[in-house]
Amino acid sequence: MDLKSQINMDLLPRHIAIIMDGNGRWAKKYGKPRVFGHRNGVKAVRESSESCAELGVEYLTLYAFSTENWNRPKFEVNALMALLVETLRKEVETLNKNNIKLNSIGDLSKLPDRSREALLECIENTSGNDRMTLTLALNYSSRWEIQNAARLIAEEVEAGRLHSKDIDDKVFSDFLHTRNMPDPELMIRTSGEKRISNYLLYQMAYSELYFTDIYWPDFRREDLYKAIIDYQQRERRFGKTSEQLS
Ligand code: IPE
Ligand code: IPE
Ligand code: MG
């Protein structure tokens, strides 16, 4: 069964957000340390990025490290940050080959200098690409992002540059890290967990949620196709009745 041919190209999501979860449990299944799972998750990142770009998805946003993830054992946090540097250095060529632009959301100021520098370098080196934007959520917290937007908007109002009555969805979205990006139509979480874990809370107001039991290191292009096909079979009503849509 060719899954790819079942995708309706006229109904492709413009933006897919993924919570890459289950690396630790995947490693445990093989009796290996958690970090082994993280290393093996890189292939899934590559496959999902390539297949999204090939299909014509414009934005792919991957949850790579949450603000809460700092609470993990120091060894694991250090390994994740080192893996980030190594992967960015290695993958910049593939990103350019696939015409993918790298972007990030989250508070980069708290990242180790080496990780932040590697990230900014990769963003710079891929800034001319325009087939797809791959965004990494790093030290990301949606609550923090929303609080930060509120703070910046308050400053604009205090300075007299903005009227409080003019704050609408468009203005608010412009103060989020995802400004200039459409909201994700589809959110995928792997590993069987069914929660949002502080990810894109504002942006996901009307996203279709798709949960799969597959652990992230096992996630392949066919799994992405399955998620898109499932999404395409849903009726997105945005508050209306089914009859109004036909
Ligand atoms: C996701 O896998 C990767 C990160 C959160 C960085 P986990 O490390 O959360 O794997 P599990 O959930 O413990 O299996
Ligand atoms: C969410 O996964 C964060 C990332 C995928 C980077 P977690 O594994 O940290 O989420 P919880 O703790 O199970 O909610
Ligand atoms: Mg997890």
- Report all structural domains of the chain as residue ranges with CATH numbers, in order of start: 11-141+186-232 (3.40.1180.10)
Size of the chain in residues:
246
The response to whether residue 81 sits with its C-beta less than 6 Å from ligand 1 reads no
User: Is residue 217 in contact with ligand 1, taking CB distance under 6 Å?
Assistant: no
Q: Residue 66: CB within 6 Å of ligand 2? A: yes
For position 246, what pLDDT does the model report? 85
**99 an active-site residue?**
no
Q: Is the CB of 191 under 6 A from ligand 1?
A: yes
Residue with tokens 């917290």: 141
Helix ranges (H only) for the chain are 23-29, 34-55, 74-97, 113-125, 142-158, 169-174, 221-232, 242-245
d(CA 76, CA 23): 12
Which residue in 143, 145, 147 sits closest to 181, CA to CA? 145
- C-alpha to C-alpha distances, 3 to 6, 67, 189, 221, 222, nearest whole angstrom: 5, 36, 20, 10, 7
Q: Interior CA angle at 38 toward 35 and 42, to 5°?
A: 145
User: Which residue owns the Cα nearest ligand 2 atom 3?
Assistant: 66
pLDDT in tens, 14-71: 999 999 999 999 999 999 999 999 999 999 999 999 999 999 999 999 999 999 999 9
In eight-state DSSP terms, residue 101 is: E
Ligand 2 atom closest to residue 195's alpha carbon, by position in its atom list: 14
Pocket probe mutation, ligand 1, options 136, 191, 211, 213, max atoms within 8 Å of Cβ:
191
- Burial environment of residue 157 by CB neighbours within 10 A (0 to 12, 13 to 18, 19 or more): middle
Q: Distance between CA atoms of 161 and 228, rounded to whole angstroms?
A: 42
173 in ligand 2 pocket by Cβ < 6 Å? no
If DSSP codes are grouped into helix, strand and coil, which group holds residue 160? coil
Catalytic annotation present for 69: yes
Q: How high is the pLDDT of residue 114?
A: 96
Q: Please write the tens of the pLDDT for every residue from 143-153.
A: 999 999 999 99
Tens digits of pLDDT across the chain (246 residues): 699 999 999 999 999 999 999 999 999 999 999 999 999 999 999 999 999 999 999 999 999 999 999 999 999 999 999 999 999 999 999 999 999 999 999 999 999 999 999 999 999 999 999 999 999 999 999 999 999 999 999 999 999 999 999 999 999 999 999 999 999 999 999 999 999 999 999 999 999 999 999 999 999 999 999 999 999 999 999 999 999 998
The angle formed by the CA atoms of residues 147, 63 and 103, to the nearest 5 degrees, is 80
Catalytic member of 21, 183, 218, 223: 21
Nearest ligand to residue 21 Cα: 1
Among candidate residues 16, 15, 64, the one with its CA nearest the CA of residue 216: 64
The catalytically annotated residue of 23, 69, 78, 218 is: 69
The response to whether residue 134 sits with its C-beta less than 6 Å from ligand 2 reads no
Please list all protein residues whose beta carbon sits less than 5 angstroms from ligand 3, which is an ion. 21
| Inter-residue contact 196 to 221 (CB < 8 Å) | no
Among 23, 69, 76, say which to mutate for ligand 2: greatest number of ligand atoms within 8 Å of CB.
69
User: What is the DSSP track for 166-233?
Assistant: G--HHHHHHTSTTTTSPPPSEEEE-TT----TTSSTTTTTTPEEEE--S-GGG--HHHHHHHHHHHHT
Question: How many whole angstroms separate alpha carbon 99 and alpha carbon 226?
Answer: 24
Specify the pLDDT at position 42. 98
Alpha-carbon span 62 to 18, nearest angstrom: 5
Would you tell me how many other CB atoms lie within 10 Å of the CB of residue 53? 20
